Amino acid sequence: MRSRLRSLIAVSLVALGASGCSTFVGSDLAVGIDGQGFTTSETDALLDEYFAESEIFGTTALDAGGFGDANRARLILNALVRSSAVEAILAQSGDEITDADLDQYFATVPAESPLNDLSAEMRRLIAMTSSEVLLSALSRIDLPTAEELETSYNEQPTSTGMLCLRHILVATEEEANDVIASLEDGVDFVTIASAVSRESSAALTGGALTGTESECLPTAQYISNFDADFVAAAFNAPATTWSQPVETQFGWHVILNRPWAEIGDDVVAEYASSDGALFLIEAMLNSVEVNVDSRFGRWNPSSGRIVPLG
């Protein structure tokens, strides 16, 4: 699981090119978190360069509207959001990204690489997508204690950067409502999941969605691999209790954020792992206000990206 976390969290900007939320106006930060981010001029310059360097990023030239393919523009904007989150985490501890951190990436770039011809600002942004750079910087940050993680989880599970779920899958909304009625009558979630869930492994797992090494999964993994409607519902499900019926392409679900007593040791263990500091990034992006200039869209935590307004 931990190697997957590195690849999910530290996504390469070059690869992207080849392929609580808010908006705001009236601030000079076009992308910002807790006062850290990119000004309008910095953002526009990076966008200009991103689209101009088509041979490196696989982009097309800017059109008359200003940003070419809007979805492609949002890809680099997502990188700006993630970079802002890292800067905000460090700033909260009176720290910042150093040249030594950035060299964890720059030292791996061959002298003949075209990346060396990019602006210093673009090269820095690319370096900020490297898990080695992030871990170098975040290693100086005190990780939350077990007690702090428990408090965060019980208030908002996604604020830990992971989800620890069970679910029950049935065919109809009526069946999902029957599941909730049984839960309200005190029937155990695992008992119901084992008896009625259409998920093939539910009889063995009690509807638990787990990793190979943990009872929990990074929220980034949910965003990448699970049905978008399911993920949105999981992000909004009440802490340590069940959701209302949720429809996805697979049927109707009732989703449970498992109680801390069941999964707390796993959450603490993930933070204690060699890559555990990376959860700080997802935790921030899941739970704090991400400010985005409205001309670009808005930050949507459950999709892990900037999406169009509306």
**Better-scored residue on pLDDT, 61 or 16:** 61
Q: Which domains does the chain have, with CATH numbers?
A: 2-143+278-307 (no CATH), 165-214+216-257 (3.10.50.40)
SS3 content of the chain, % helix, strand, coil (to 5): 50, 15, 35
pLDDT value, residue 242: 94
pLDDT value, residue 27: 54
pLDDT value, residue 113: 95
pLDDT 10s digits, 188-245:
999 999 999 999 899 999 999 998 889 999 999 999 999 999 999 999 999 989 999 9
List, in sequence order, every residue forming a beta bridge with 307; answer none if it has no partner: 298
Is residue 174 within 8 Å of residue 131, measured between CB atoms? no
Is residue 196 within 8 Å of residue 207, measured between CB atoms? no
Confidence check: pLDDT of 68 > 80: no
- pTM, 2 dp: 0.87
Q: pLDDT-derived band of residue 63, with 50, 70 and 90 as boundaries?
A: low
pLDDT value, residue 62: 57
Gap between the Cα atoms of 115 and 76, Å rounded: 16
> In the chain, pLDDT over 90 holds for what percent of residues?
77
Confidence check: pLDDT of 278 > 60: yes
Confidence check: pLDDT of 131 > 80: yes
Q: Establish how many alpha carbons lie within 13 A of residue 285's alpha carbon, considering only the half-sphere containing its beta carbon.
A: 33
State the average pLDDT for the chain.
Answer: 89
Confidence check: pLDDT of 8 > 60: no
Confidence check: pLDDT of 93 > 90: yes
